[in-house]
Structure 1
Amino acid sequence: MEAVFSPTELHQGYPDIVHGGIVTTLLDEAMAYALEFDGYRGVTARLRVRFLKPLRPKNVYRIIGYLGKVRGKIARVYSEIRDKDNNTMAKAEALFFINSEIGGDQS
């Protein structure tokens, strides 16, 4: 799964730095979509994020999510945010609890 994101000043925590909560949300969502693209639905059970370099407003970033191993009801999923020069800015690893009832029709 890949997506493109260009943060604005509204995404800042400290001046000229994208808030870590925004970065974490992007990584988590990329993993959730990667899981769904492979036919699973689930929720984040454990999430570990490594902030390697600060993201800056007005730059363009590529967000990548991919599925690792699935064992029973647990999936290991990964994601990264890369800049235009393909430098890794942040990365995450998570365990997702797989549950087919998640995200279904609520009516």
Structure 2
Amino acid sequence: MSAMPMERQELGDDEVTARAGLAARVRELAEAAVLTGAGAAEAAAVADEIEALTARLAVERRGAPPYVASSEGIMERHTANPVNGTLNPFAPPVDLEVTPDGAVRAEFTLSPLFEGPPSYVHGGVSAMVLDQALGMAAAVSGTPGMTATLELRYRRPTPLGVPLVVEARFSRVEGRKVHASGSITGPDGRVTVEATAMFIMPERFITSQY
């Protein structure tokens, strides 16, 4: 028996703005929690305040992330995406855009929340960003799909706290399969991570979940 799709709340413009602001403040709070020099007593006191605020937000709790309907009436769920979701406080976020030549590109900066080796980005975070960019590039081809394979080559450490560029594009479509490639580049113009991936469009999309 398949699971029943969860009901999703549609947000209006004012709600999106308010929740995006909330996510941004929580993102700042998370970074402050990692970097604070406050003593144990102060940290405990702030934790109590945060617990109270969390309880306020949880009074009305829904079973699934909200969505925003586009001008075409399509349900947009990327608002809660862990890479580019403006309503997700754990997303950097990476503002991916499609360029006139069909590439997917974004300039972004990662905070210490995403640290792996000291002063460098965690390799899994780089993989997450590239997976999202490559998946969006696959969608640009007209054949969106789910990740089937993702291969990465870490050329050099990716630095934290500086502007990075991710760029991806699809290379070919084979039926329901789309192949794409991309990279993350540091501020010096050198590639830090390269990736190739294959995405497969499911035979059926469960439209009630999208």
Q: Structure 2 length normalisation: TM-score?
A: 0.48
Which deviates the most, 31-40 or 45-54?
A: 31-40
Instruction: Show the 5 A alignment for 1:73-92.
Output: 73-92=176-195
Q: Which runs of 5+ in 1 are unaligned?
A: none
Cα distance, 1:106 vs structure 2:
1.9
Asked which structure has the greater CA Rg, the reply is 2
Verify: 1:35 aligned to 2:138, yes or no.
yes
What code does the residue aligned with 1:76 have?
Answer: H
Per residue, is there more strand in 1 or in 2?
A: 1
Which deviates the most, 82-91 or 94-103?
A: 94-103
Q: Which runs of 5+ in 2 are unaligned?
A: 1-103
State the partner residue of 1:99.
202
Cα distance in 2 for partners of 1:6, 1:103 equals 35
Write the deviation string for residues 49-70 of structure 1: whole angstroms up to 9, x where unpaired: 0001111111111100100111
Q: Structure 1 length normalisation: TM-score?
A: 0.90
Structure 1 residues 55 and 102, CA, compared in 2 at 3 Å: closer, same or farther?
farther
Cα distance in 2 for partners of 1:104, 1:86 equals 41
Cα distance, 1:4 vs structure 2:
1.2
Cα distance in 2 for partners of 1:6, 1:17 equals 12
Cα distance, 1:19 vs structure 2:
0.4
Per residue, is there more helix in 1 or in 2?
A: 2
State the partner residue of 1:49.
152
Structure 1 residues 87 and 38, CA, compared in 2 at 3 Å: closer, same or farther?
same
Cα distance in 2 for partners of 1:80, 1:104 equals 32
Write the deviation string for residues 67-98 of structure 1: whole angstroms up to 9, x where unpaired: 01111111111010012232111010011112
Q: CA RMSD in A?
A: 1.8
How many residue pairs are counted as aligned between the two chains? Answer: 107
* SS of structure 2 residue aligned to 1:80: strand
Cα distance in 2 for partners of 1:4, 1:104 equals 32
